[in-house]
């Protein structure tokens, strides 16, 4: 049984905002080269949903990334917001654009032939918290009064 939950999200600058009814069981990683190029990342965390479960409070810009698909983004700050087939009723939103993205787990890999294997399981790498980088933290506090969320 899937359980949909209302999640809000948007781009980095706040110009584009949305509310999506998401099913956390539809979260996955896409490794295809189109998504790598569209985001600059090694993969992209998506949540699949029907277009009718997506409500844009302010319209995103759309990039026609191929003859069959287009991608919502913000032309002011550049945030990638998702993927949508031009025909058909399904789309994806980017996990990182949710206001509260934690607690949602991926359930499968897509375009697995393009996986950057060394970047999938990085759990053995040393970790450093942002707050431990005091020179950077101090720069943030001086500029804005706080370290960003
Ligand atoms: Zn923006
Ligand atoms: Zn992809």
Distance 58 CA to ligand 1 centre (A): 11
List residues, by chain if needed, whose CB lies under 5 Å from ion ligand 2.
30, 32, 35
What's the gap in Å between 10 CA and the centre of ligand 1? 8
- Over range 104-121, report the average pLDDT: 97
The string of DSSP codes covering 102-117 is: TT-----EESGGG--G
Q: pTM of the predicted model, to two decimals?
A: 0.92
Mean pLDDT across 144-149 = 86
- Helix or strand holding residue 29 (H, E): strand 27-30
Q: Establish if 19 belongs to a structural domain.
A: yes
**94 found inside a domain:** yes
Cα separation, 64 vs 101, whole angstroms: 26
CA of 113 to the centre of ligand 1 (A): 32
CATH number at 97 reads 2.170.150.70
Does residue 70 fall inside a structural domain? yes
Q: Is residue 138 part of a domain?
A: no
86 by DSSP, 3-state: which? coil
| Least confident interval from 21-25, 47-51, 144-148 | 144-148
């Amino acid at each position: 049984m899937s359980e949909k939950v209302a999640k809000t999200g948007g781009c980095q600058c706040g110009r584009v905002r949305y509310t999506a009814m998401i099913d956390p069981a539809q979260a996955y990683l896409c490794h295809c080269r189109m998504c790598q190029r569209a985001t600059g990342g090694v993969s992209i965390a998506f949540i699949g949903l029907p277009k009718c479960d997506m409500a844009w409070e302010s319209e995103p810009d759309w990039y026609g990334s191929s003859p069959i698909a287009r991608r919502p983004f913000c032309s002011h700050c550049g945030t990638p917001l998702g993927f949508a087939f031009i025909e058909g009723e399904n789309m994806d939103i980017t996990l990182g654009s949710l206001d509260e993205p934690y607690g949602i787990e991926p359930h499968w890999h897509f375009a697995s032939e393009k996986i950057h294997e060394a970047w999938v399981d990085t759990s053995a790498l040393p970790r450093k918290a942002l707050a431990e980088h005091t020179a950077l933290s101090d720069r943030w506090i001086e500029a804005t009064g706080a370290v960003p969320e």
